[in-house]
Amino acid sequence: MTTVSGQKSGGLKLVLFGPPGAGKGTQAQLLRDRLGIEHVASGDLFRHHLSNGTELGEMARDYMNRGALVPDEVTIGMVIDRIGQIGGGEGFMLDGFPRNTNQAQALESALGERGQGIDRVIHIQVADDELIRRLSNRYICRACQRPFTRDAATGAPPERCEDCPDGGDIYQRDDDTPEAVANRLTVYHQETAPVLDFYRERGLLADVAGEGSVEAVNASVLQSLEIAGE
Ligand code: AMP
């Protein structure tokens, strides 16, 4: 399967871009299954450090709980190191990174040193009131990080993760509280949204409407990559 730049879709280097709650994680799981490329989510990397009690995790905790950005000196190195573990010919999709123009520049330089670049930035657009509704209903599997919502009929979250063999524990993130959500949306509009111009100028940006069903959004995402849906 070839796509966007005419290269094999298994080697695609993508950025999934959008506000918290836009569905980046959900779409990433579908793309990973479809294209077999690695999902690198900066928030997941931080949560992994937090649950392992590392120094980096302890340093990030307060920023995360407030919904603020963890400083670039910590974040950029962590993500670039992770990308460095992926073979040059292999694809990946970044989720939650870059979140400001400084990070976008650092990513461009780091990939440039390897003779690589981002092939497409998929911008999933969702209005703020819908994001607030989604985040207050969001639950995550502690093991695989898959997002879930409350059951429409009962209003209850699932008890265990259906994807994990031993049924991973489901929990609500500390930063999905109303105060932290409000702050995360402010940070998104002030610090992260300007990254869109960075990629628009480079002709890499694809806008995707993110308020339809998961399947409809996925079809638009695949279309933006010039990949036919099922
Ligand atoms: P996320 O899971 O992407 O919503 O990220 C959770 C939290 O991790 C964010 O609210 C930030 O505190 C921190 N974080 C994740 N990615 C970044 C990033 N690229 N730059 C700075 N902080 C980040």
Per domain, the residue ranges of the chain are 9-138+176-224
- Please determine, for residue 21, whether its predicted confidence score (pLDDT) is greater than 80: yes
Q: What is the CATH architecture assignment of 9-138+176-224?
A: 3-Layer(aba) Sandwich (3.40)
Burial category of 59 from C-beta neighbours within 10 Å (exposed 0-12, middle 13-18, buried 19 and up): middle
Whole-model pTM: value is 0.89
Helix axes 72-84, 55-66, angle to 10 degrees: 120
> Catalytic residue at 24?
yes
> Catalytic residue at 184?
yes
pLDDT tens digits along 33-88: 999 999 999 999 999 999 999 999 999 999 999 999 999 999 999 999 999 999 88
pLDDT tens digits along 148-195: 888 888 989 999 998 998 888 999 988 888 888 999 999 999 999 999
pLDDT at 63: 96
Distance 6 CA to ligand 1 centre (A): 32
pLDDT at 173: 86
- Please determine, for residue 92, whether its predicted confidence score (pLDDT) is greater than 60: yes
- Please determine, for residue 111, whether its predicted confidence score (pLDDT) is greater than 70: yes
Confidence of residue 6 (pLDDT cuts 50, 70, 90): low
Residue nearest to atom 5 of ligand 1 (CA): 43
State what percent of residues in the chain have pLDDT above 70.
Answer: 95
- Distance between the two ends of the chain, CA-based, in angstroms? 13
CB contact burial 184-199 (16+ within 10 A = b; e otherwise): bbebbeebbeebbebb
CA dihedral 8, 9, 12, 14 (to 10 degrees): 160
Highest mean pLDDT: which range of 139-143, 208-212, 225-229: 208-212
Q: Which atom of ligand 1 is nearest to the CA of 96?
A: 3
- Please determine, for residue 228, whether its predicted confidence score (pLDDT) is greater than 80: no
Residue nearest to atom 2 of ligand 1 (CA): 43
- Please determine, for residue 9, whether its predicted confidence score (pLDDT) is greater than 80: no
